[in-house]
C-alpha cells in the first residue's frame, strides 16, 4: 500500500471521471445528510476515479456502501443477516457500491484472490465485504471469499505473536492492514455465524496493537523510534525486516482506528445467537471485546487530539501538504 490515499483529501478536484456512475450526491441528500464542512461530493468523485490498487478499490467500495447503502453497512441498525443487493442498475435493489466493486474485483488465487495485491496479504482482503454481498446472489464471489479467508487464517506468514503478516513473502506488520483485513474477517464471521473467524478478527486487533503500539519514555525520547509519553496510544507505521518505519504516520493511525471501529461495529451488530451460552463466543467474550476495542480506538484518538496543537504549529493539516514529515504526528 502506498500513501496515496491522503492526497485524495487535499487535492483540488480538477475533473471528475465517473464512468458509469451518476454524480455523487452532495450534502443534504439522503446519502449525505450532514455537511462535513468540506465538499464531500468532490472527495467522493476522486475516491471513485483515482484508485488503481486493490486497497484503494476496497476502501472506495466501503465508502460507497456506507454512504449509499448506509443501513446495510456495519454502522446500520441491523446489517445482519446480509441483504440481497444488486450491482445491476436496472434492479430495484441496486447498490452503487456493488456496481463499483464488481467492476474492480478480479477473482484469482489468494493472496490475490479478489484483486492483484502487489505482494500484500491484507490489501485484496479489503474487497471482501463487497465480495460477500455480491456472493449472496453469485456463487463465484462466495467461493473467492472462502479462499481468501482460508488464506488469511492458514496461508499467510505470521509474526512471532501470531499476528497475520501484511506482506505475503515475509512477516511484516503494517498499521494499514487494520483497515483492510480484520473488518472483512469480522464481517465474514458475523455473516456465516463462524465464531472462530469473528474471534480471529478481534484477536488480530490485539496482536497488531501489541507490536505496533509506540514505545514511549519520559527519560530521553529519541525519535523516530522512541517518543515522549504524550504520544502514548499511537501506533507506529511498520514493524518488520524490509520496510520498517517507526514513525507515527497519522494516516496509519487513522487506518488502525477506523479498522477497529468496523470490527467493533461488527461485534456489536453480530447476531446475538453467536454469543449464546454453549457457543464458542460467550456474552462475556463479547463484553470484553467491545471494551478492549473501544479502549484501543480511544487511545489513538485521544493521542491525536492531544498532539494536534503541536501538529498544527509544525504545519500539519495546513492544506496542500501531501505526505512525508508534515504528515507525521510530532514526536
Ligand atoms: C469457520 O471458517 C473457517 C475458515 O473458512 C473454517 O475452516 C471453519 O471450518 C469454519 N467453522 C465453522 C464452525 O463453520
Ligand atoms: C519497542 O522497543 C522494543 C525494544 O527495543 C522493540 O523490540 C520494539 O520493536 C519497539 N516497538 C516499536 C513499536 O517500536
- Closest ligand 1 atom to the C-alpha of 192? 14
Q: Which ligand is nearest to the CA of 200?
A: 1
Closest CA to 145 of 155, 132, 126, 130: 132
Closest atom of ligand 2 to CA, residue 212 = 13
pLDDT at residue 75, as a whole number: 96
d(CA 215, ligand 2 centre) in Å: 6
Within 10 A of 135 (CB to CB), how many other CB atoms are there? 19
More confident site: 250 or 14: 250
Q: With beta carbons less than 8 A apart as the criterion, state whether 164 and 121 touch.
A: yes
Residue closest by Cα to atom 4 of ligand 1: 150
Ligand 1 pocket test, candidate residues 194, 199, 203, most atoms within 8 A of CB: 194
Mean pLDDT is lowest, of 35-39, 199-203, 295-299, for 35-39
Mean pLDDT, residues 210-236 taken together: 90
Residue nearest to atom 6 of ligand 2 (CA): 215
In angstroms and rounded to an integer, the radius of gyration of the C-alpha atoms of the chain is: 19
- Going by the DSSP 8-state scheme, the letter that residue 84 receives in this structure is -
pLDDT band at 31 (very low <50, low <70, confident <90, very high): confident
Question: Using a 6 Å CB cutoff, which residues line ligand 1?
Answer: 146, 149-150, 153, 194, 196-197
Asked whether residue 280 carries a pLDDT value surpassing 50, the answer given is: yes
User: What percent of the chain clears pLDDT 70, i.e. is strictly above it?
Assistant: 85
212 within ligand 2 shell (Cβ under 6 A):
yes
What is the distance in A from the centroid of ligand 1 to the CA of 282? Answer: 18
Give the number of the ligand closest to the Cα of residue 196: 1
Alpha helical stretches, state H, the chain: 4-8, 40-49, 54-68, 96-104, 122-125, 128-135, 139-150, 177-180, 182-191, 195-212, 250-269, 283-313
Distance 37 CA to ligand 1 centre (A): 44
Comparing 53-62, 96-105, 239-248, 307-316, which segment has the lowest mean pLDDT?
Answer: 307-316
Q: Tell me the pLDDT band of 255, cut-offs 50, 70 and 90.
A: very high
How far, in Å, CA of 53 to CA of 229, rounded? 36
Cell of 294: 473501544
CA 297 to chain centre: 13
pLDDT band at 25 (very low <50, low <70, confident <90, very high): low
Q: Which residue in the block uniquely carries the three cell numbers 499467510?
A: 156
Please answer whether residues 119 and 54 qualify as being in contact, where contact means their C-beta atoms are separated by less than 8 angstroms.
no
Confidence of residue 58 (pLDDT cuts 50, 70, 90): very high
> What pTM was computed for the model?
0.88
Amino acid at each position: 500500500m502506498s500513501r496515496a490515499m491522503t492526497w485524495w483529501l487535499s487535492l483540488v478536484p480538477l475533473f471528475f471521471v465517473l464512468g458509469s456512475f451518476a454524480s455523487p450526491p452532495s450534502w443534504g441528500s439522503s446519502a449525505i445528510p450532514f455537511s462535513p464542512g468540506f465538499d464531500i461530493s468532490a472527495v467522493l468523485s476522486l475516491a471513485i476515479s483515482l484508485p488503481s490498487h486493490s486497497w484503494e478499490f476496497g476502501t472506495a467500495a466501503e465508502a460507497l456502501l456506507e454512504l449509499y447503502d448506509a443501513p446495510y453497512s456495519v454502522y446500520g441498525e441491523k446489517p445482519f443477516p446480509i441483504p440481497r443487493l444488486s450491482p445491476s442498475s436496472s434492479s430495484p435493489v441496486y447498490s452503487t457500491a456493488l456496481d463499483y466493486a464488481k467492476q474492480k474485483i478480479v477473482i484469482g488465487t489468494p493472496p490475490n484472490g479478489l484483486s492483484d495485491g502487489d505482494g500484500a496479504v491484507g490489501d485484496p482482503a479489503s474487497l471482501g465485504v463487497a465480495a460477500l454481498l455480491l456472493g449472496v446472489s453469485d456463487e463465484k464471489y462466495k467461493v473467492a471469499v472462502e479462499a481468501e479467508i482460508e488464506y488469511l487464517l492458514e496461508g499467510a506468514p505470521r509474526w512471532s505473536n501470531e499476528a497475520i503478516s501484511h506482506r505475503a513473502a515475509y512477516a511484516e506488520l503494517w498499521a494499514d492492514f487494520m483497515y483492510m483485513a480484520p473488518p472483512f474477517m469480522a464481517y465474514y464471521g458475523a455473516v456465516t455465524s463462524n465464531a472462530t473467524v469473528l474471534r480471529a478478527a478481534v484477536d488480530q486487533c490485539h496482536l497488531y496493537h501489541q507490536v505496533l503500539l509506540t514505545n514511549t519514555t519520559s527519560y530521553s525520547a529519541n525519535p523516530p523510534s522512541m517518543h515522549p509519553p504524550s504520544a502514548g496510544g499511537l501506533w507506529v507505521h511498520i514493524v518488520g525486516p524490509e520496510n520498517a518505519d517507526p514513525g507515527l504516520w497519522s494516516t496509519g493511525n487513522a487506518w488502525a482506528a477506523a479498522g477497529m471501529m468496523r470490527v467493533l461495529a461488527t461485534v456489536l451488530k453480530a447476531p446475538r445467537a453467536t454469543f449464546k451460552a454453549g457457543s464458542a463466543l460467550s456474552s462475556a467474550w463479547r463484553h470484553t471485546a467491545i471494551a478492549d476495542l473501544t479502549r484501543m480506538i480511544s487511545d489513538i484518538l485521544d493521542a491525536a487530539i492531544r498532539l494536534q496543537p503541536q501538529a498544527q504549529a509544525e504545519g500539519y493539516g495546513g492544506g496542500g501538504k501531501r505526505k512525508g514529515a508534515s504528515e507525521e504526528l510530532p514526536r
